[in-house]
Structure 1
Amino acid sequence: MALDDVDAGFRRGTMTAVMGPSGSGKSTLLHCAAGLDRPTSGRVLLGGTDLSRMSEKQLTELRRDRVGFVFQAFNLVGALTVEQNILLPSRLSGRKPDPAWVAEVVERVGLVRRLRHRPSELSGGQQQRAAIARALATRPEVIFCDEPTGALDTQTAAEVLELLRAVVDESGQTVIMVTHDPVAASYADRVMVFADGRIVQDMPQPGVRRIAEQLAALGRRRPVAAREG
């Protein structure tokens, strides 16, 4: 069972890090919360909207208008330039983007000189930055991130995390981020630790040291086969 009786709420205007071993249910939680997957039981609410009652068309429109998602595999459109990828959600929704905000996002992810390039011409880290810029460009209510700094060098990762932190603090947006990195998790207001589809720790602003200690303790309690699965 990917998620086992999970009951979690995320306050508007906060940043939450979701951690745990591989196979613990982290990405499934993100996919269900974003309306990408349907849970076999229970409900998913975005504000007052019950996603379980929506059609596929309605879910598509909700994700386009209210949700940003940064995929671990980037999911950029290869035939489009970086700039076109970043503006694609706005184009699909028919809404004019805020040029000043888009320019700020592009600058902060370090892609000003790469806007005319296609994804195949970028490094993995640059593709991840383009995916992050695309997710932020429309100012969505909630931004879901699956390992957003996994392909980035230390300096760029810090800049991306500061940008995610800023959209929470300055714009009141909500960020839910899956990560294996205690340093990345330390930027969050709250850290949830998963194991075997359940929440085993829910810590407010624990700091890098406590996060690392909790993950190490969890690893010691789990059998080797389970850790490797």
Structure 2
Amino acid sequence: MSVHTEAVRVEQLTRVYGTDQQPVTALAGVDAVFVRGTFTAVMGPSGSGKSTLLQTAAGLDRPTSGRVRLGDTELSGLSETQLTKLRRDRIGFVFQAFNLLGALTVEENIVLPSRLAGVRVDRGWLAEVVQRVGLDDRLTHRPSELSGGQQQRVAIARALVTRPEVIFCDEPTGALDTATAADVLTLLRMLVDTHGQTVVMVTHDPVAASYADRVLVLADGRLVLDLPQPGATRIAEVLATLGRSRVRS
């Protein structure tokens, strides 16, 4: 596979927490490639390492060993300052908590990270992003005046405004009701299909994962399955089987 088609590659990724006496292995030699213009869901039982995979792949946490490449950039050789700049300029983040500032308007929340970084906001691109996420008529509203789904759309717009190479989402629909979650997932799907965005999403929800092109399943820090879109029913069956095997072990 050409490096030009790869948004992110992780190789033999290991992350160990704790002390030498009591080590906890969150990742145990994970290999994965996330292709540009695709939507990948990362799943697994609680404690399987899925959030740790997202954090190390996104440069939020350094692996104990192994390699992470964002496009043609190897992350391990970067200083903390360089990592901060890379995350700001090339990566978007969407979390379960919307992380919006209540005193700011929708527009001010969207451009805040750019303003803090001293980066000039491209007004034409901002207008396009706002239109894509359906917030044209909400720019002067405060977060308290928005529904949960609208607040998550603000968070997605904030992630998009820097033109990221990849958007990492950690349980982005975890705080939303079923209908609102479907609305947000449809938006993420549209960003991939229509605009060629790359999305990597950690989720525990088989229905949310069914919006992705591909599902990676982790168990005990290892990648155990890499499935082309299997559908929500099959995903639920796989997770149930993994859960039973963990109970038996």
Query: What is the TM-score when the length of structure 1 is the normalising length?
Result: 0.88
Matched AA of 1:150? G
- Looking at secondary structure, tell me which structure has more helix per residue: 1
Secondary structure at the counterpart of residue 9 of structure 1: strand
For residues 176-227 of structure 1, give each alpha carbon's deviation from its aligned partner in whole angstroms, at most 9, with x where no partner exists: 0011111110111110111111111110111111111101111111128x9x
Equivalences for 1:62-101 in 2 at 5 Å?
62-91=86-115, 92=117, 93-97=119-123, 98-101=125-128
SS in 2 for 1:5: strand
Q: Structure 1 residue aligned with 2:171, among 147, 172, 183?
A: 147
- Aligned residue for 1:139, secondary structure, equals coil
Q: Return the offset for 1:126.
A: 4.4
- Residue 165 of structure 1: SS of its match in structure 2? helix
Does 2:49 align with 1:25? yes
When residues 114 and 149 of structure 1 are mapped into structure 2, their CA distance, relative to the original with a 3 A threshold, is same
Picking from 209, 214, 220, the partner of 2:238 is: 214
Find the aligned partners of 2:109 and 2:75 in 1 and give their Cα distance.
Answer: 26
Residue deviations 1:116-154, cap 9 Å, x none?
Answer: 444456565544332222112333110000011111222
Contact map agreement 1:125 1:151 (CA 8 A) in 2: no
CA distance in structure 2 between the partners assigned to 1:57 and 1:163 by the alignment: 32
Give the gaps of 5 or more residues in structure 2.
Answer: 1-24
Please identify which structure carries the higher strand content. 2
Bigger drift between 155-164 and 90-99 goes to: 90-99
5 Å-filtered alignment, 1:167-178, equals 167-178=191-202
Residue 157 of structure 1 deviates from its aligned partner by 1.5
Amino acid corresponding to residue 210 of structure 2 in structure 1 = S
Q: Against the structure 1 CA distance between its residues 124 and 172, is the aligned structure 2 distance closer, same or farther, given a 3 Å change threshold?
A: closer
Gaps of 5+ in 1: none
Q: How many residues align?
A: 222
CA distance in 1, matches of 2:36, 2:82: 22
RMSD value over aligned CA atoms? Answer: 2.1
Letter in 1 for 2:104: L
The structure 1 residue matched to 2:130, chosen from 103, 127, 141, is 103
Structure 2 partner of 1:61: 85
- SS state at 2:32 partner: coil
Q: Which amino acid aligns with 2:171?
A: E
